[in-house]
Chain A
């Protein structure tokens, strides 16, 4: 039998027309001959949860900031004993990650007391530190909001002279951009301040339950720690409130207007409009995707999206349905589940340990669940808005044909483009950028279009013995099972079943609808089963319509799994092949309790 391993990143064939793709990224991001022997000797998995599509040059900023920030906390802050960071690369535009273990047992040993001291401090002071975190994030967002990008003026304002400032708009725009980037990196430092530790605590409780009850469903454990009121669900709650308000005020008909602008025109000056304006900031800074791609629409910038959901909720209210999540019931159910498993434990010591571990998991969980809204949704929305402001400046200068072309420039190149623009403005001649950038961006678009056609392999390199990095296990769901599944993919056993994580209980049968982009979710018909690479939290409002969800990627703690559980939607995540195996309209059966998907037709 052939040795079971994945293709080398250096041997895998890329799509035609993708030549030159390496130039779209920071020089250290693509696989390269310079680090070939290392890169070929480790295991890489494609991060389909966050970056399922090829990365545009500026969007890769989030990728690099996120993974490096995650890593530093393992490696340099908390010193997670068996794990360093997660190394990251790009191949034909796609993100590939590898967890970096600590291999020397003596070093692992040496890290233990330091981890205990550092992580211990955070666990002991968690609530205080978290409260401070919320303030820090909000302050950071306010700083970002304060940045504006405007076209360079024909002449400097008189105040520049009379106040004796001694500097000009060209300096300011460059400083502002660099500050935006620094704030973006700081944002991601904040993002991981607690997350790694939160996952470690969760993993500990999880491991305890699995040892006490080898057959306990993963979702039972998730149920015991899950929060009932979570900021991530707040945007949907606000939609529901606005739907109720519309019915209360008798203005439902306004939602039949053909466009968002028309709807607003009809509701101008009404108390409903006030309620909308209250709710939208910050809660509609909500991406239809994961928040990492500039092309993911954000509710506040595309109000037709939330308005559409509100219209659906209005219809439900008028049909007599209860649209609210039964919070009391959810709490009571969670308490019952905890009490019963606790009672099934063998000894008093076990019960004590269970309570302690659960207690810590509950302490960390609000952060684990909430941070996603503050960072990937709210903060990212602000940054994308600011980048578009900058894009508009470049459009006015003739550097770009359209605003979003700004995302085809690498983050450091923007500094050069700004320099070119400023310098020409300072000198009073033409910048080179008006010729250079349109041509270069057109080339980059062609390259990325080619990359979009590529079937990115789920994994590369040497499969690992064990995985110890907590994120890799809990969030990405990379376990021996998933690795085995990928290894077996080439075997083509062609059975009618897909296997994945039993992410959210229940069984449903129905026609599949394969969704490859957030723009398609409007196509979903009632009773259909959503099949997607991954789902986004902001899709929650359609979960009342569909009967189940199936994803290619995602572990028990992925946001898709969390949201499906909250909304009571049967779900199987991490199947690896759902979107490439199931066709639109095929009848499938989803068993979210056992983690199986059966193709019925």
Chain B
């Protein structure tokens, strides 16, 4: 009995070959009780049903056999042809049923009619490294409605046959006939506020802190650097907010009437208002700490406050990847090698400890 859909929250490690890397990591995060938006994987078995269509198989095989790999036009033309074939052929009815039913279930679970989802490829093996896909062609955002979702899944499948993918597989000797893929269908967050967080202070590498950048609307504003975000520094052990900087937040990315995301000016009353309450700041920090614990190293996180979730429980994790700047540096020890306890005390007494900024560096320097 073939299983065409696997929910992220049912994920087990043994499922990895069937759901691919992206779905696997989302499943692991959910298992670690991190607040990842819900969704399901369309498994490799679903993709494999394409091969049941013998006519499709034969047409694809023929086109791929005839392509001139050294001619970019030929490659492009063949890719387009194969992709159109795949996208036009009817989905296996059982697969279609499974995908649409799961999507309806997701809507109910989220309490949102025609819940917007992201439909993304989830690579399954070394013969399909992420690098072989051009990102735009295998990611569909803000898809709504079960028909659109099914179509998006097919378009993900067809992205196995981008020009680059075809050429890559030929060079590496992988057989088009046996490659496969999974697709991740995940709720998209409609954010009240969003941003990034580091599980260390990016200014000085202090590992005892969590730094949060936050602004209104979609996280694009912060990630792209178009907005000067609010910045908060939170102590990782005590969850004390040790520093707050509220910035004038001039623009935000919001949904327009027709379900597309666009840039708009922030109304005056919100420009200087903090984009996060203290409770929310601590919630984001706590989540970031859990993500760091899960991965065992400092993280660079994207998060959002989901409007569809209840206040006080609406922080979601969108992405978590290793922090790369400070983690690459050699750890800078504090203790002086071979220094005894008493030597340490002497050394402390001799250096002007605890003074924060030296008087000489403050204003009024014409003393």
Q: How far is the CB of A211 from chain B (nearest CB, A)?
A: 5
CB-CB < 8 A to A201: which residues of B? 345
| Partner of A473 from B354, B359, B367 at Cβ < 8 Å | B354
CB of B131 within 8 Å of the partner chain = no
B334 close to A208 (CB less than 8 A): yes
Q: How far is the CB of B365 from chain A (nearest CB, A)?
A: 9
CB of A470 within 8 Å of the partner chain = yes
Q: How far is the CA of A473 from the CA of B352 in the complex (A)?
A: 10
Q: How far is the CB of A545 from chain B (nearest CB, A)?
A: 24
Q: How far is the CB of B293 from chain A (nearest CB, A)?
A: 10
CB-CB < 8 A to A346: which residues of B? 207, 331-334
CB-CB < 8 A to A347: which residues of B? 331, 333, 335
CB of B350 within 8 Å of the partner chain = yes
CB-CB < 8 A to B358: which residues of A? 465-466, 480
Query: A1 with B346: in contact, given A349-B335, A357-B341, A466-B355 (CB under 8 Å)?
Result: no
B342 close to A116 (CB less than 8 A): yes
Query: A483 with B359: in contact, given A1-B364, A213-B208, A213-B209 (CB under 8 Å)?
Result: yes
B341 close to A210 (CB less than 8 A): no
Stretch at the interface among B4-12, B35-43, B188-196, B240-248: B240-248
Q: How far is the CA of A484 from the CA of B364 in the complex (A)?
A: 10
A200 close to B348 (CB less than 8 A): yes
A206 close to B359 (CB less than 8 A): no
B348 close to A112 (CB less than 8 A): no
Q: Mark B241-265, 1 if CB is under 8 A from A, else 0.
A: 1111000000000000000000000
Q: How far is the CB of B54 from chain A (nearest CB, A)?
A: 59
Residue of A nearest to B347 (CB): A204
Residue of A nearest to B348 (CB): A204
CB-CB < 8 A to B349: which residues of A? 80-83, 115, 200, 203, 468, 470
Of the four ranges (under 10, 10 to 19, 20 to 34, 35 or more), the interface on chain A belongs to: 35 or more
CB-CB < 8 A to A353: which residues of B? 334-335, 339, 344
CB-CB < 8 A to B354: which residues of A? 203, 206-207, 210, 473-474, 479
Stretch at the interface among B117-125, B153-161, B231-239: B231-239
Report which residue of B244, B342, B358 has the largest number of chain A beta carbons within 10 angstroms of its beta carbon.
Answer: B342
CB-CB < 8 A to A481: which residues of B? 355-357
| Partner of A594 from B244, B334, B352 at Cβ < 8 Å | B244
A594 close to B341 (CB less than 8 A): no
Stretch at the interface among A151-159, A215-223, A405-413: A215-223
Number of interface residues of B (CB under 8 A): 48
Residue of B nearest to A213 (CB): B208
CB-CB < 8 A to B352: which residues of A? 466-468
Q: How far is the CA of A487 from the CA of B233 in the complex (A)?
A: 28
Q: Mark A355-386, 1 if CB is under 8 A from B, else 0.
A: 01100100000000000000000000000000
Q: Scan residues 68-110 of chain A and give those whose CB is less than 8 A from a CB of chain B.
A: 80-83, 108
CB-CB < 8 A to A350: which residues of B? 333-335
B356 close to A215 (CB less than 8 A): no
| Partner of A119 from B238, B345, B367 at Cβ < 8 Å | B345
Stretch at the interface among A10-18, A270-278, A337-345: A337-345
CB of B228 within 8 Å of the partner chain = no
CB-CB < 8 A to A149: which residues of B? none
CB-CB < 8 A to A1: which residues of B? 363-364, 366
Q: How far is the CA of A304 from the CA of B350 in the complex (A)?
A: 49
CB of A30 within 8 Å of the partner chain = no
Report which residue of B204, B242, B243 has the largest number of chain A beta carbons within 10 angstroms of its beta carbon.
Answer: B242
| Partner of B353 from A4, A207, A337, A354 at Cβ < 8 Å | A207
B342 close to A120 (CB less than 8 A): yes
Q: How far is the CA of A466 from the CA of B359 in the complex (A)?
A: 8
Q: How far is the CB of B79 from chain A (nearest CB, A)?
A: 50
Q: How far is the CA of A481 from the CA of B356 in the complex (A)?
A: 7
A206 close to B353 (CB less than 8 A): yes
CB-CB < 8 A to A150: which residues of B? none
CB of B25 within 8 Å of the partner chain = no
Query: A213 with B244: in contact, given A346-B333, A349-B337, A480-B359 (CB under 8 Å)?
Result: no
CB of B313 within 8 Å of the partner chain = no
CB of B201 within 8 Å of the partner chain = yes
CB of A214 within 8 Å of the partner chain = yes
Q: How far is the CB of B354 from chain A (nearest CB, A)?
A: 5
CB-CB < 8 A to B359: which residues of A? 463-466, 480, 483-484
Q: How far is the CB of B292 from chain A (nearest CB, A)?
A: 10
Please provide the 10 A-B residue pairs with the shortest distance between their CB atoms, ordered closest to farther.
Answer: A346-B331, A353-B335, A466-B352, A213-B208, A4-B364, A593-B240, A204-B348, A207-B353, A340-B237, A347-B333
Binding site for B on A (CB under 8 A): 1, 3-5, 80-83, 108, 112, 115-116, 119-120, 123, 200-201, 203-204, 206-208, 210-217, 219-220, 223, 336-337, 340-341, 344-347, 349-350, 352-354, 356-357, 360, 463-468, 470, 473-474, 479-481, 483-484, 487, 502, 505, 507, 593-594
Q: Can you give 30 A-B contacts (C-beta < 8 A)?
A: A1-B364, A3-B366, A4-B364, A4-B367, A80-B349, A81-B349, A116-B346, A119-B345, A123-B341, A201-B345, A207-B351, A212-B208, A213-B206, A214-B206, A215-B235, A216-B206, A216-B235, A336-B237, A344-B207, A346-B207, A346-B333, A347-B335, A353-B344, A357-B341, A468-B350, A479-B354, A480-B356, A484-B362, A593-B240, A593-B242
